[in-house]
């Protein structure tokens, strides 16, 4: 079975070397997959317009043949929703998107992401940007409660997986490797489960 092209999008501060996104990139590359894990400009001081432009540049150069998937973590989930709500070139549409541990659009604890929070919650736009999109939230995430995660999923009409004890699904929560996300990229296996 051939692997899809995977575009992995990091959140605030980037994905450090022990983050599951770096682990996933290595696993996919080791299996012969095409992987793009870009580093957005100023990961510690994100600017929405800059990150949007860079996201679209990466989508524009993605292979046109074969399945294309996007795996976004944290702030990149809101970035994807802003992208989807804009004027999306049909050539930039992807097959599958996984939004992992998004901050709640109502989160007020981090001034660096304020301009990302005013995000359009438009299910039609989400479907225009990708054939299918799935949301994953961790129980105990300090940036998005389970209730807020479920509200987000409902507003966007998305299936949601809740990872018990997953918190923000990052290194601090024990997510350096995560076999379930690798299985999802390889075969769209759902639901996503803990490590």
CA dist 99 and 72 (Å) reads 5
pTM above 0.85, yes or no: yes
For residue range 19-76, list pLDDT tens digits in order.
Answer: 999 999 999 999 999 999 999 999 999 999 999 999 999 999 999 999 999 999 999 9
Q: Express each pLDDT in 112-129 by its tens digit.
A: 999 999 999 999 999 999
Architecture of domain 5-187: 3-Layer(aba) Sandwich (3.40)
Q: Is the pLDDT of residue 86 over 80?
A: yes
Q: Where are the beta strands (DSSP E) in the chain?
A: 5-9, 35-36, 68-73, 94-100, 130-138, 159-163
23/21 Cα distance (integer angstroms): 5
Domain positions in the chain: 5-187
Tokens linked to 118: 């005013």
Token digits of residue 84: 């989807």
Contact 100, 169 (CB under 8 A): yes
Pairing of strands 68-73, 159-163: unpaired
Angle CA(188)–CA(8)–CA(125) in degrees, nearest 5?
A: 70
Average pLDDT over the chain reads 95
Tell me if 69 sits within 8 A of 42, measured CB to CB.
Answer: no
**Distance between CA atoms of residues 179 and 192, nearest Å:** 9
Distance CA 150, CA 131 (A): 21
Task: Determine the 3-state secondary structure of 32 from DSSP.
Answer: coil
What confidence score (pLDDT) does residue 1 get? 58
Residue 190: band (very low, low, confident or very high) from pLDDT cuts 50, 70, 90: confident
Q: Could you tell me the CA-to-CA distances from 15 to 77, 126, 143, 177, 188 in Å, in that order?
A: 14, 24, 17, 13, 23
């Amino acid at each position: 079975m051939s692997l899809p092209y995977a575009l992995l999008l990091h959140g605030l501060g980037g994905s450090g070397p022990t983050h599951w996104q770096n682990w996933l990139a290595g696993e996919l590359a080791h299996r012969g997959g095409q992987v793009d894990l870009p580093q957005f400009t100023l990961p510690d001081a994100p600017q929405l317009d800059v990150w949007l432009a860079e996201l679209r540049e990466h989508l524009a150069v993605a292979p046109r043949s074969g399945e294309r998937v996007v795996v976004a973590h944290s702030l990149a989930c809101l970035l994807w929703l802003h992208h989807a709500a804009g004027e999306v070139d049909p050539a930039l549409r992807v097959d599958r998107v996984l939004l992992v541990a998004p901050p709640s659009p109502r989160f007020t604890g981090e001034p660096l992401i304020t301009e990302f929070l005013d995000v359009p919650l438009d299910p039609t736009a989400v479907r225009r940007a990708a054939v299918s999109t799935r949301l994953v939230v961790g129980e105990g995430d300090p940036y998005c409660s389970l209730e807020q995660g479920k509200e987000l999923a409902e507003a966007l009409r998305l299936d949601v997986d809740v990872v018990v004890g997953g918190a923000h699904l990052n290194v601090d929560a024990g997510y350096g490797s995560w076999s379930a996300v690798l299985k999802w990229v390889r075969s769209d296996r759902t639901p996503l489960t803990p490590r």
